[in-house]
Every structure is written in C-alpha cells, then in structure tokens.
Structure 1
Amino acid sequence: MTRKKIFICDDDKGISEMLEMIFEFIDAETIVETNSINAYERLRQYKPDVLIVDLWMPVISGDLLIQKIRKDRELSNIFILCISASRDGKTIALDAGADMFLPKPFDMDGILSIVEDALKIESAN
C-alpha cells in the first residue's frame, strides 16, 4: 500500500514547519511548498491526497490555486483544506472549490483530525 501524501502550501514557514511536525504522527508523506508560484507544478508532480493551502499568499493566492486545481482532471479529486485568518476566508475558500475551511489560529488536534478523516487513516498513537 502506498503512503498517503499531504501537500502544505503556506508562505509562512513557521506554520508550514509546524504542520509538517504535526503530520509526523500519521503514516503519510508530507510535501511543503512556501512559494505559491511553484505550488501547481509540484502538485502535478506529487499528486497528493490532501492539500492544505493558505488563502492569502503573495503572487498566486490560495483561492486562485484552488480554482486551477479543480479545473485539472488529474488533480480535481484532491481533498482541499483552506486555512486563513481572513474574516471572509470561509466564503472565498468554499466558493473557489475547497472542501473545508479552517480559520487561523487553529487547534492542532483539530487539523490533525480533519486530515486523518480525509486520508481515512489512523494515527500511530
């Protein structure tokens, strides 16, 4: 059985690194991209099962990336969790095609639970 893949796209390296540490508790490969310009091509390369994407990033915003993914037949089935501190973030993210929205700051157990449910795997603990 191949390992599930989680792709994190957030320009805040602190958040990306923290999420990467959280996902060490489940049997999944984690790919991190902090530059939204590179995200789409890396998504096509890795074809992850879950994408966690920040809404507000320089150059290519999360909602534009989500829209592009949803139009791509090879990527359209990725579970997308959008994270943001934006007041209107939930509406923007879901309108773009995200499966779920989680406001920042978020609870570590909460995001881990969402991703585990999306991957349908259990944690190692």
Structure 2
Amino acid sequence: MILEDAGYEVLTTRDGQTVQDMKEDLPDLLLLDIWMSGMDGAVICQYLKSQHSTKHIPIILCSANKDTQKLARSSGADDFIAKPFEMMDLVNKVEKYIN
C-alpha cells in the first residue's frame, strides 16, 4: 500500500518459486523478504542475479534479521532495508532504483 500510494504499480506474491520462475513481464524492481514462503529471499536473489535475463533488475532485500545488510551483500542484492522501517525510507529506496 505504501508504494501504491506513492504512485507505483505493485504486484505481490508470498511464493518464492513464483519470483524465481519469472520469464516474461519482468518487473522494474524486486523487493524480496528474506523469509518468503517456501524459499529464502537471499537464495532467490542470488539465482536472479546469476541469470542473464534478470541480473539487471534491482533487488532490495528486507528483513528483521540482524544480519540483513550482510545477507544482502552476500546474495548480490542492490540494497537492503531493515524491518521495522519508516514508510518514506522504503519509498526513497525504491525511487533510487526506479528513477
């Protein structure tokens, strides 16, 4: 809702496999939680960054994990945001990669 209120079109899923299997209609940015249903967001990020068709998509990892920054770096994410976060911090991070 935060991003929609800021004017972004947002698609959501809780299923990590759906994100990993993207082939068409690729997003401009991915916001991945480290704890996704059935898969680890950091592992999904590593996979997407290793694929020619998806490596260009900016990925922001988010988590309440105390090692979020370390996990983001090691997985190849472009950025991270630690939970809890301020709404404007999220919007600013997204704007950084979309605009």
Structure 2 stretches lacking a partner, 5+ long: none
2:24 is the alignment partner of 1:40: no
**1:97-122 per-position Cα deviation (integer Å, ceiling 9, x unaligned):** 001111001110110111112111xx
Instruction: Report whether the alignment pairs 1:23 with 2:13.
Output: no
Identical counterparts, % of pairs: 28
**Rg bigger for which structure?**
1
CA–CA distance in 1 between the matches of 2:75 and 2:49?
Answer: 9
Q: Which amino acid aligns with 1:40?
A: Q
C-alpha distance in structure 1 between counterparts of 2:11 and 2:25, whole Å: 8
CA RMSD of aligned residues (A): 1.4
User: Given the two structures, how large is their TM-score scaled by the length of structure 2?
Assistant: 0.90
Tell me the TM-score normalised to structure 1 length: 0.73
Q: Distance in 2 between matches of 1:109 and 1:22?
A: 9
More strand by share: 1
Gaps of 5+ in 1: 1-20, 121-125
Could you tell me whether the CA contact under 8 Å between 1:82 and 1:101 is conserved in 2? yes
SS at match of 1:37: helix
| Alpha-carbon distance in structure 2 between the residues aligned to 1:54 and 1:73 | 22
Q: Could you say what secondary structure the match of 1:32 adopts?
A: coil
